[in-house]
């Protein structure tokens, strides 16, 4: 028993606890993006233009979700501290087994609901090693993340030895590639690119790998006061959002297909990178005052991968009743997103109590 002279242990907040909050928020952002898809994606991938204002208002801001996930990985994992074989075993046990289980679910459940035929279900199941199918398009993210995790031990030695200036050089080249989607609207093939060669000059510095390095760079070198971090982050987030929103609104009037419509919604674009970086800086200011609050968000955050995998099943079931209830896009999107978020959390939380649940929820 403690004596009267003993003092209670002083709570020391974790310096990375804010990443749990950011991961939870990014998960909600993903669900909000998918909630808006009911209102602008029509049959056969056609464009529905009637509700584009609120689809744009919500969706443009939420595009920072995927970059934030990758930046968090770069922040936490680079450079790796174990042998590549150990890193792969730990990461892919948690990543791959739940992914395979839920991919199978997305092949089977539509058949059980009468949406797909048995032949389609078998085909969807068989193509899991190759790519996602029509029922689980959101799992493209996991295929991308597998590639990122495979590459982390490759890039890690460079991260350990490269100077700050060399990392800045890499990020500069990456930022240049963020303008390529816009340049390609005028010049479809750039820097040596052609139908026989898709790997142009900037290819190896482009894509999601830049967000991985950016997350590491922020951890190591970005040391701002709270005021500076908030103002800088807010300005970057607002600038990125304005560009994303304005371009999407313009494209809605001229685009003939979804790829052209979603030009500014592409994750590796300068505007989305601005939003993601700004939000990262703002969330970095979060600090917990109690161990219980920090523990709650840590446990919640641990369920977000399972929530990501499962949420489309819930979303599809909730859309019709919520849409019939509210009849207003401005309300349906956030209500549908929050409802799906809560129900999916409860589902994954319950599954987490099962034996061997790490193979289901991650």
DSSP string, 239-281: HHHHHHHHHHHHHHHH-SSHHHHTGGG-SSSHHHHHHHHHHHH
Domain span at 102:
18-361
* pLDDT band per the 50, 70, 90 thresholds, residue 151: very high
- Mean pLDDT across the chain: 93
Instruction: Flag whether 175 is in a domain.
Output: yes
In this structure, is residue 178 part of a structural domain? yes
Q: Does residue 2 lie in a domain region?
A: no
Whether residue 190 is predicted with pLDDT greater than 80 in this model: the reply is: yes
CA atoms of 209 and 204, how far apart (whole Å)? 9
Q: What is the mean pLDDT of residues 186-207?
A: 93
State the helix-helix crossing angle for 18-36 and 329-351, rounded to 10 degrees: 130
Do residues 213 and 74 make contact, with C-beta atoms less than 8 angstroms apart?
yes
Domains in the chain, number: 1
In terms of pLDDT, which residue wins out, 359 or 72? 72
Query: What integer pLDDT is reported at residue 1 of this predicted model?
Result: 47
| pLDDT of 8 above 60 | no
How far is the C-alpha of 44 from the C-alpha of 62, rounded, in Å? 24
Q: Does residue 273 surpass a pLDDT of 90?
A: yes
* HSE value, Cβ hemisphere, 13 Å, CA-based, for 146: 16
The verdict on residue 9 lying in a domain is no
* Closest among 67, 209, 203, 94 to 152, alpha carbons compared: 209
Q: Binning pLDDT at 50, 70 and 90, where does residue 343 land?
A: very high
- pLDDT for 210: 97
Q: State the average pLDDT over residues 328-343.
A: 97
Average pLDDT over every residue of 18-42: 96
Cα gap 139→219, rounded to integer Å: 28
Would you say residue 9 has pLDDT above 90? no
The pLDDT tens digits for 234-265 are 999 999 999 999 999 999 999 999 999 999 99
- pLDDT-derived band at 3, boundaries 50, 70, 90: low
Query: Is residue 6 scored above 70 in pLDDT?
Result: no
Sign of CA dihedral 96, 18, 23, 246: negative
Are 361 and 305 contacting, i.e. CB atoms less than 8 angstroms apart? yes
pLDDT tens-digit map of 129-142 = 899 888 888 999 99
Say if 4 falls within a structural domain.
no
| Burial zone of 265 (CB within 10 Å; 0-12 exposed, 13-18 middle, 19+ buried) | buried
Instruction: Please say whether the beta carbons of 187 and 194 come within 8 A.
Output: no
């Amino acid at each position: 028993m403690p004596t009267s002279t003993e003092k209670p242990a002083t709570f020391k907040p974790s310096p990375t606890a804010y990443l749990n909050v950011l991961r939870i928020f990014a998960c909600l952002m993903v669900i909000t993006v998918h909630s808006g898809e009911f209102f602008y994606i029509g049959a056969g991938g056609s464009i529905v233009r009637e509700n584009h204002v609120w689809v744009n208002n919500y969706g443009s801001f939420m595009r920072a979700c995927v970059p934030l996930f990758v930046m968090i990985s770069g922040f936490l994992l680079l450079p790796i501290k174990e042998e590549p074989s150990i890193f792969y075993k730990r990461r892919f046990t948690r990543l791959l087994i739940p992914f395979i289980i839920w991919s199978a679910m997305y092949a089977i459940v539509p058949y059980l609901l009468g949406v797909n035929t048995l032949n389609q279900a078998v085909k969807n199941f068989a193509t899991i090693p190759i790519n996602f199918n029509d029922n689980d398009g959101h799992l493209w993210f996991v295929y991308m993340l597998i590639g990122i995790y495979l590459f982390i031990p490759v890039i890690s030695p460079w991260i350990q030895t490269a100077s700050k200036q060399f990392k800045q050089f890499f990020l500069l080249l990456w930022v240049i590639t963020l303008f390529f989607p816009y340049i390609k609207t005028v010049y479809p093939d750039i820097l040596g690119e052609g139908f026989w060669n898709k790997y142009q000059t900037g290819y190896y510095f482009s894509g999601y790998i830049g967000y991985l390095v950016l997350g590491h760079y922020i951890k190591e070198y970005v040391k701002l006061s709270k005021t500076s971090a908030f103002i800088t982050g807010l300005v970057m987030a607002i600038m990125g959002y304005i560009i994303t929103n304005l371009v999407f609104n313009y494209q809605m009037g001229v685009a003939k297909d979804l790829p052209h419509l979603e030009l500014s919604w592409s994750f590796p674009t300068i505007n989305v990178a601005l939003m993601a970086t700004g939000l990262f800086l703002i969330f970095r200011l979060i600090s917990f005052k109690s161990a219980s609050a920090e523990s709650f968000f840590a446990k919640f955050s641990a369920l977000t991968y399972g929530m990501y995998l499962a949420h489309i099943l819930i979303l599809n079931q909730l859309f019709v009743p919520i849409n019939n209830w509210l009849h207003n896009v401005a309300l349906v999107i956030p209500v549908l997103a929050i409802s799906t978020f809560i129900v999916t959390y409860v589902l994954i939380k319950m599954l987490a109590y099962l034996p061997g649940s790490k193979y289901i929820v991650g």
